[in-house]
Every structure is written in structure tokens, then in C-alpha cells.
Amino acid sequence: MLRAIFAVVFGVTGFLLGREAYVHLFSLHFASEQLQLVLTLLAPVVGALIGVLVAPAAQALFEDELNVVERSIERLSPAELAGGAVGLIAGLVVAFLIKSILFEFITIAGKTGSYVAILLYIIISIFAGYLGARVGAKSRIVPVPGGSAARGTGIPKVVDTSVVVDGRIVEILESGFLEGPFVLPRFVLEELQAIADSLDPIRRARGRRGLEVLNRLQELRILEISERDYADVRGGAVDAKLVRLAREIEGKLLTTDYNLNRVATVEGVQVLNLNELANAVKPVVLPGEEMSVQIVRDGKEPHQGVGYLEDGTMIVVENGRRSIGETAEVVVTSVLQTAAGRMIFARSKREIVR
């Protein structure tokens, strides 16, 4: 259908242009009536044929540009779309007012002035419409509830690569402690695919685990892929893109990356750090409490042994090196809270009894 429309439009246009070209350019230079009659019929036909031949190329260009516009629109939030539409209309109104006020002076020059006025009007309309759409989209002059680029209700959460690789997000969502919508940017998915294709076996394993987590998240039907990207970000830094996306859609950034957490906080973006959540829900351990722990390796000091609780909390046992590989009854002596998490210091219960 589109091909037929382009062929008809360009064919008719070529026909009319061919006739006008003959009348204004060729007819005065041919004295022979027979030749003028032939050209009168031939010029429009040639113009129509040229128009039909040019139509496929014009159609291909039109479809390419249409795809570019469609991808650009998909990257915009509802607030940006509404603001861009209002800005576009305002820009066209301004261009029309400029035409009404100033172009009267240009048309005094006659037919040539009219052509110049039409050309200037087209240029000013394109410029004013584009400028209005850009300003309207960036300022989001039309308020849209939630400002979300994702489907669903609530504040959108932008998912970082570290959260997907970590994997704990699935259990948190299934427990109902965190609600969507969740936005996974396309550039994060591409980074995850690059990790899964890495030559390093450790990175490759982490990337494949992240892809498995994504499959589980898609089964929950709460994950939306965002096509929005930022080519102007220097070096294509994923962290900078994540912060910018979260700020633009007025969402929160979901991550386990400590450095990204700090950068987002400085940029004024709210952050949900799964490591902070894990530390917050760990059971409180006070000095003097007794517990059983399996000592798995030696510590920094020659006499120390190290074990771990079920939640991953590290326990440093004084004089526990000789008990490596065994389960020991220990008594907590102190608890140290660090940026990386909590660390418990303990001593063997047998030593205290003695």
C-alpha cells in the first residue's frame, strides 16, 4: 500500500513538474508546432516516469527516518512525550505569527518575494517546531502522574547489572518486600551479554548467572526493557547512564555497587542498595552471646580462625586456627560494623571456661 501511494504521488508530481518545465523552459525555444505538440505530450510523461522511478528510493528513505523517529519516541517517558507535543505546537504557532507579521514586507517584491516567503516560512517552522519539542520534552511542562517510563504503578526502579548478577533480587521480589515497576535499560542488558561472552571463566559464569536471573524476573512479568540510551555520555559509561535514566524518569536506582551508590546520591537520585538491606535484616548479635560456627580457614593473625554464619557474616575466632575444619562453640566478644558489612569477633567457649 505504501509503495503504491509513493508511486502515485511521485508519478503525479513528476507529471505536473514535467508539464510546467515544458511550458516555462522549453516551449518558447521551439518554433515547430509539431515538435511543440510532441513535447507537450512527452514532457509530462517523462516527468511521471522519473517520479515513479524515484519513488522507491524516497520510500526507503522515508521508512528509515520513520524507524529512527519511532525508536526515539520509545526512549521518551510519557511526561517527555506530552511536553514535546505541547512544545511542538507552541513552536509552530510562533512560526505562524512570525509569518503573519514579517512576511507581508517580503511579498511586496512580487512573485519572487512570495517564493522567498514560503521558503523562509518552511525553515522557520522546522526550526521553531524542533526547538519547541526539545524544550518541552526536557522541561516536561505537562505533568504526568508518577513520571514513570515503565508500566504499572509506583515509583520505577532502575535495575543495575550488579543486582542482576547478584541474584538475590528474585527472592526479595517473591517475598513481596519490594514492588515494581522495574526498568532494565538496554545498555545494561548489552553489558550483561558482554560479560556472559567474556573469555574469563569467572566473568562468564557470572554473566550467565545474570541471564538466568533475568529469565526468572521476566517470568514474574514485572520487568520492562527500556530502549532509552545516551550517546552523549562520555565514554559510554554505564553508571552515568543509569544515574541519568533514574533521574529523568524520577525513579530509584537498584544496585549493590558501593561506588555507584555514592555517585547516585551526589546526583540526587534515590538508591536502593541490596547490601544495605541485607545488613539491616541481619540478626542482632551482642557481646556475650554463644553460638556454633564452623571454622573454615585461618585469619590475618597467625592464631586466628575464620568462620561464617548462614547470612555470610564473618566471625573471627581468637586462637581458632587449630580448630580449622571443626565446629566450635564460641562466645561473642565484640561486633564491628564496616562499609563492607558486619564482622564478629569471638573466642572459644572452652578458653573462657578455663
pLDDT digits (tens, 9 = 90+) for 43-54: 778 878 888 888
Query: Residue 36 domain-assigned?
Result: yes
Is the domain of 213 the same as that of 309? no
- Cα–Cα distance between 86 and 292 in angstroms, integer? 66
Query: Longest Cα pair distance anywhere in the chain, in angstroms?
Result: 129
For the ranges 43-47, 73-77, 108-112, 199-203, the maximum mean pLDDT occurs at: 199-203
Is the domain of 54 the same as that of 177? no
The last residue of a domain, from among 222, 255, 280: 280
Is the domain of 308 the same as that of 334? yes
Higher-confidence residue of 352 and 156: namely: 156
- pLDDT for 147 equals 42
- pLDDT for 115 equals 63
- pLDDT for 232 equals 74
Is the domain of 247 the same as that of 193? yes
Nearest-5° Cα angle at 208, 157 to 71: 50
Higher-confidence residue of 295 and 143: namely: 295
- Overall number of domains in the chain: 3
Does pLDDT of 146 surpass 60?
no
Is the domain of 47 the same as that of 124? yes
For residue range 21-37, list pLDDT tens digits in order.
Answer: 666 665 555 556 666 66
Is the domain of 112 the same as that of 38? yes
Is the domain of 77 the same as that of 181? no
Is the domain of 120 the same as that of 6? yes
In whole numbers, what is the pLDDT of the chain averaged over residues?
78
Which CATH number covers residue 314?
2.40.50.140
Query: Residue 132 domain-assigned?
Result: yes
pTM over the 0.85 mark: no
Kindly state the percentage of the chain with pLDDT values over 90: 1
Query: Residue 63 domain-assigned?
Result: yes
Kindly state the percentage of the chain with pLDDT values over 70: 78
The last residue of a domain, from among 255, 280, 305: 280
Query: Residue 64 domain-assigned?
Result: yes
Query: Residue 179 domain-assigned?
Result: yes
Which positions ≥6 away from 255 have C-beta within 8 Å?
160, 162, 163, 242, 261, 264, 271, 272, 273, 274
Task: Go through 169-181 and write b for each residue having 16 or more CB atoms within 10 A of its CB, e for each that does not.
Answer: bbebbeeeebebb
Average pLDDT in the 106-129 region? 70
Which CATH number covers residue 191?
3.40.50.1010
Is the domain of 265 the same as that of 291? no
Is the domain of 221 the same as that of 319? no
Residue 332 domain boundaries: 283-353
Does pLDDT of 344 surpass 80?
yes
Query: Residue 22 domain-assigned?
Result: yes
The last residue of a domain, from among 280, 307, 324: 280
Is the domain of 206 the same as that of 248? yes
- Cα–Cα distance between 149 and 79 in angstroms, integer? 9
- pLDDT for 150 equals 40
Does pLDDT of 273 surpass 60?
yes
- pLDDT for 76 equals 65
Is the domain of 134 the same as that of 6? yes
Average pLDDT in the 181-204 region? 86
Query: Residue 147 domain-assigned?
Result: no
Average pLDDT in the 278-306 region? 84
Closest-CA residue to 160 (of 37, 252, 31, 285): 252
- pLDDT for 27 equals 54
Query: Residue 149 domain-assigned?
Result: no
